[in-house]
């Protein structure tokens, strides 16, 4: 694995694994012109200075989906390295406590049955967790 140079930044990103009462999993599709455009992912975003990961996750889901959530706790993490930075992605279990999710930034959003997950194109950092849910191991 290549060594990190001193000027590389570490970006901490959080993502919500939201499971419906009937077992379906909520995903959002990245906008076509975005990095990794068109791929399905767990919704979330970057942790800003002064925020805890849980606060960032709650803020991001209000901004992107118009919902308030309750964060149950961490599930797993993933590390990804791209050309500009290192990314630490923290996945949290969450429940929607207010609102119905909708793509406020123009993104497609949808609840998926676990059996549908394996066929989806996802970012590399999300892939292992999507596989875990699709095989009912989560």
Q: What is the largest CA-CA distance in the chain?
A: 47
- What pLDDT does 3 receive? 56
* 34-38, 50-54, 76-80, 96-100, range with the lowest pLDDT: 34-38
Mean pLDDT of 3-31: 87
CATH match of 9-134 with 3.90.79.10: yes
Q: Are 21 and 105 in contact (CB under 8 A)?
A: no
For 108, left (φ over 0), alpha (ψ -120 to 50), or beta? beta
**Quick one: tokens of 114?**
């676990």
Would the pLDDT of 136 be above 80? no
- What pLDDT does 138 receive? 55
Q: Where are the domains of the chain?
A: 9-134
- What pLDDT does 97 receive? 97
Give tens-digit pLDDT for 80-131: 887 778 999 999 999 999 999 999 999 999 999 999 999 999 998 888 898 8
Give the span between the Cα atoms of 50 and 127, in whole angstroms: 29
- What pLDDT does 25 receive? 96
């Amino acid at each position: 694995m290549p060594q990190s140079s001193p000027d590389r930044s570490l970006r901490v990103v959080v993502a919500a694994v939201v499971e419906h009462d009937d077992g379906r999993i909520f995903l959002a599709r990245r906008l076509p012109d975005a990095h990794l455009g068109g791929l399905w992912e767990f919704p979330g975003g970057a942790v800003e200075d002064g925020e805890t990961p849980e606060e960032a996750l709650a803020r991001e889901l209000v901004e992107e989906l118009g919902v308030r959530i309750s964060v149950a706790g961490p599930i797993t993490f993933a590390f990804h390295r791209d050309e500009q930075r290192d990314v630490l992605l923290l996945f949290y279990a969450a429940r929607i406590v207010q609102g119905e999710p909708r793509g406020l930034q123009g993104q497609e959003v949808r609840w998926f049955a676990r059996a549908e997950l394996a066929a989806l194109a996802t970012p590399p950092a999300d892939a292992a967790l999507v596989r875990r849910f699709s095989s009912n191991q989560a």
